[in-house]
Amino acid sequence: MHILCAVLLLPFVILTHSSSALNKVWEEWQIEHRKVYDNKTEMEFRRAVWEKNMMLVLRHNQEASAGNHSFTMGLNHLSDMTAEEVNEKLKAGGVG
């Protein structure tokens, strides 16, 4: 089980060990989705959430390439939000 997890997390490990590559993805994602954060605290929090979501996407896609899922995932404009926040947004009736 631990070996399986290690294998699935490999792309994430490579990315985080090359933090300049991850920073570039983060910056490009912010530009693409026109994200502006109020302050450093907020930005660091969003970056942490984004990284976590990014890891889930990578792991999902790794599983998809092994045939476990019929679709792959990508980062989108909700990638800096927690699952709770996305649910709130859905209930409020407006995603996007």
Ligand X SMILES: *[C@@H]1O[C@H](CO)[C@@H](O)[C@H](O)[C@H]1NC(C)=O
Residues in touch with ligand X (CB under 6 A): 38-39, 41-42, 63, 66, 68
How large is the greatest C-alpha to C-alpha distance in the chain, in angstroms? Answer: 42
CA atoms within 13 A on the CB side of 61: 13
57 and 73 Cβ atoms separated by less than 8 Å: yes
Spatial distance between the Cα atoms of 77 and 85, rounded to a whole number of angstroms:
13
Least separation, in Å, of the C-beta of 20 and ligand X?
26
Least separation, in Å, of the C-beta of 41 and ligand X?
5
Least separation, in Å, of the C-beta of 78 and ligand X?
17
Which one, 22 or 79, has the nearer CB to ligand X? Answer: 79
Which one, 29 or 45, has the nearer CB to ligand X? Answer: 45
